[in-house]
Amino acid sequence: MAIVLLGTGVGAQAQWLNNKTPNAPRTKDGKVNMTGPVRKLNGKPDLSGVWQAPGDARAPGGLFGIGESLNSKYFRDILADFKPGEEPLTAEGRALFQQHSQPGTIGPSLICLPDGVPHANLLPEPFKILMLPDEIVFLYEVETMFRQIFTDGRSLPVDPSPTWLGYSVGKWEGETFVVETAGFNDKSWLDARGHGHSEEIRVQERFHRRDFGHMDVTVTITDPKMFTKPVTISFVEELLPDTDVFEHVCYENEKDAGHQPGRKP
């Protein structure tokens, strides 16, 4: 089931081939210079573009999709940097992980429910960033989801109705875009292994586009119900130039659920 659902978007980056990215620095042979300079927008690095977290062949669980798309180690396990037995899980966090690890239990994304944050940015699937005057928008190819990060000075809501992707506000610290997100429901998983979170989770993301083709991302997850301390991961998003995201409907023509007797979400 994971192979079918996570693989549906693998070839989508080829949907708009030969449509050149405007204003991209290029080498003499016409290819995008991935280490070229970053364009500025209103004095700040332009984060716009189609991005995807590169896969790691050394990551446990290596291949997802149809055998073509490697996944990040953090997509597989948000606690991949910790040795077995040393994960900073509370008793409640460990119990929830064990519950999600039971045979017959499948993750929400495999039954076409949305991915949360930061899991949506770690998928072996592309997403697009649009920079607007008072917000930055993420368009996720998977399930054709969107996320709004407001930059108009508003604060996070005090008593929000919980959502899958939470509520996000952002600001610039020099050349780095810093996003604070809260107001999540507790239904998504943080990774493919099944580490969960509570509604108290808060996520900070720091995006730094160091050159035209690479964006350094640092994410800190704080959830005192699940983790004994904040968990910080760092990874890179790579630009997918001369292409675009494409519509993806997870449940459209989905036939796997009917072949999973006894399974429960």
Instruction: Please name the residue that has the structure tokens 């994960």.
Output: 87
- Each domain of the chain, given as residue ranges in start order, spans 2-259
142-199: pLDDT as tens digits? 989 999 999 999 999 999 999 999 999 999 999 999 999 999 999 999 999 999 999 9
Q: What is the pLDDT of residues 40-69, one digit of tens each?
A: 999 999 999 999 999 876 655 444 443 446
pTM across the whole model:
0.86
- In the chain, the N- to C-terminal Cα span, in Å, equals 13
Pair of tokens at residue 240: 């997918």
